Amino acid sequence: MRRHRIEHRGNPEYYTPIYEMALSQFEAAADKLSLDPNLRKRFTNPKRAIMVNIPIRMDDQSVEVFHGYRVHHDTTLGPSKGGIRFHPDVSLGEVSALAMWMTWKCALMGLPFGGAKGGVRCDPLALSRNELQRLTRRYTAEMIQFIGPDIDVPAPDIGTNEQIMAWMMDTYSQFKGYSIPEIVTGKPISIGGSLGRVEATGRGVVYCILEAMSHLNMKPDGKTVVIQGFGNVGSHTAQILSEKGCKIIAVSDVHCGLYQPNGLDITALRAHVSRHQYLKGYTEASEISNPELLELPCDVLVPAALSEQITNDNADRISCKILAEAANGPTTPTADQILKDRGIFIIPDILANAGGVTVSYFEWVQGLQHFFWKEMEINERLREIVSMTFNNVLKTAISEKVDMRLAAMMLAIRKITESNLARGLFP
C-alpha cells in the first residue's frame, strides 16, 4: 500500500509538509477534473530541480557555504517564472511547492509562463551588504545554464528585493557580454524595471478584496482589516486599502504586532518603518503577538507573511468574513476545510497574490520590446486581468459547487492540460 502510494505520488525526495500541502491541493483538483493519469504523474513532481553549494567569502575572510535551489515545475506554457527567496527555512521541498504554485498562478492569470521558484537558505538580515552581494552573484553564476529571458525569469520573493535583482541582472549580463535586463523582473526602474511593479502584489490583493466585497454585498468604507506581515506586500496592501476607506486595525512584522481599534495611520507607520526598519517602537498603537493578531475579529484578514500560519490549531478561532491569502500557502488543508465549514470566504493565494507576477509579465514584455508603458496603463491592465480572473473563478466555484481554491486550481490545470495535450509527448 505504502509502496503504491509513493510510486503514485512521484519522488519522495521533494516531500516536506509544505510540498504535501501543494500536492493535496493539486490532487483535489485533479480528482474533480478526472485528470488524465499521465498528466497527473507529470505534474506531481517538478520538471527539474537544481541544487547548488555556494561558497562565499565572509567579511571576516572565513568561507561559508550556503545551499541554493532553483526548481522548474512546468514549462508547457512558456519560460518558467517565479521569485527567489532568501530565508533560513528554504529547502528543496519548500521551493518545489512554491514552484508548483507558480505554475498554477501563471496559468490561471493567462500569462505565457511556466512555474519556477528559487531560494538560498540564509538569514539575509544577518549578512552585510557586501556578503549579500557576493552571495547573489555566486548564486546567479551557479544558475547561469538554467536561467535566461526565454528559459526561466527570476523575480523577488521573501528576503530579496530590487537591489538583489539588479545584482542578478548585472552578473548574468557580465557572463553574456552585454546588458540583458529582461533576465529578471522586479528590478529597479533605472535598469528597465516596470512602473507599478513594487506595489503590484498589494494592488492585486486589494482588487481581489474589492471584488469579494462586492460579491458579498459589503462596502469597503469602514470595514476592519488585519494584516499579518508589513513587508512589500503587507505594507502596500495596507496603504491601498486604507485609501479605499478600510480601517486597518492591526499589522505585524517578525518582531511584533500593533493593534489600534480606531484604525492605524498607515502613512505614519510606513514612515516609522522606513526610519527604524521594524514596527517596534511605534507609539500610537498597543503591542500584540502574531497569534493574537490572527484571531482578532475583523471583516478581512490578510496573511501576507510566511506559509502555514492558519492551521488545525487556530482555524476555529479565526474571526473574519474574507480571508485574502497574500502569502503563498498560508492555510493548511485541514484549516482550509475548517474555515470553509465556518462560511469564511477564502481568496486563494494563486489568485490573491498574482498581481506581482502579472506586472512581472508586463515588465518582461516591456523589456523585450524596449518600449515602456505609463503607470496608469499598467495599473489599469492589472485591474482588468485580476477582476476578470476573480470573476471567472467565482463563476466556476458557483457552477461546479466548489470553493474558490478548487475552482482556481481547476481553471489553471485545465489550461495547462489543453496545451500539454496539444503539444504531445516527446519523443
The answer to whether 159 touches 86, Cβ cutoff 8 Å, is yes
Dihedrals φ, ψ of 362, to 5°?
-60, -40
Query: Minimum distance from CB of 208 to ligand GLU (Å)?
Result: 14
The answer to whether 222 touches 245, Cβ cutoff 8 Å, is yes
Q: Using the minimum distance from each CB to ligand GLU, give the nearer residue, 108 or 404.
A: 108
Q: Using the minimum distance from each CB to ligand GLU, give the nearer residue, 103 or 239.
A: 103
Rounded to whole angstroms, how far apart are CA atoms 15 and 22? 10
Q: Using the minimum distance from each CB to ligand GLU, give the nearer residue, 188 or 263.
A: 188
Which residue has the closest beta carbon to ligand GLU? 83
Residue 178: exposure state from Cβ atoms within 10 A (0-12, 13-18, ≥19): exposed
Rounded to whole angstroms, how far apart are CA atoms 16 and 96? 10
Rounded to whole angstroms, how far apart are CA atoms 204 and 358? 9
Rounded to whole angstroms, how far apart are CA atoms 387 and 109? 10
Rounded to whole angstroms, how far apart are CA atoms 125 and 129? 9
Q: Using the minimum distance from each CB to ligand GLU, give the nearer residue, 161 or 314.
A: 161
* Helix, strand and coil percent figures for the chain, each rounded to 5: 50, 15, 35
Q: Which residues bind ligand GLU (CB under 6 A)?
A: 81-83, 155, 157, 185-186, 328, 353, 356-357, 360
Q: How is residue 3 annotated by DSSP?
A: H
Q: Using the minimum distance from each CB to ligand GLU, give the nearer residue, 282 or 364.
A: 364
Dihedrals φ, ψ of 259, to 5°?
-125, 130
Query: Minimum distance from CB of 132 to ligand GLU (Å)?
Result: 18
Closest CA to 319 of 302, 348, 299, 292: 299
Bond from prior residue into 220 cis (ω within 30 degrees of 0): no
Q: Using the minimum distance from each CB to ligand GLU, give the nearer residue, 237 or 360.
A: 360
**Which of these is catalytic: 47, 117, 223, 321?**
117
Query: Minimum distance from CB of 157 to ligand GLU (Å)?
Result: 4
Q: Using the minimum distance from each CB to ligand GLU, give the nearer residue, 114 or 220.
A: 114
- Is 81 a catalytic site residue? no
Query: Minimum distance from CB of 237 to ligand GLU (Å)?
Result: 14
Dihedrals φ, ψ of 356, to 5°?
-65, -55
Angle between helices 197-215 and 232-243 (to 10 degrees): 50
Query: Minimum distance from CB of 360 to ligand GLU (Å)?
Result: 3
The most distant pair of C-alpha atoms in the chain lies apart, rounded to whole Å, by 65
Query: Minimum distance from CB of 357 to ligand GLU (Å)?
Result: 4
Query: Minimum distance from CB of 26 to ligand GLU (Å)?
Result: 17
The two counts, helices (H) then strands (E), for the chain are 15, 12
Set of cell numbers at residue 297: 475579529
Tell me which residues are annotated as active site. 117
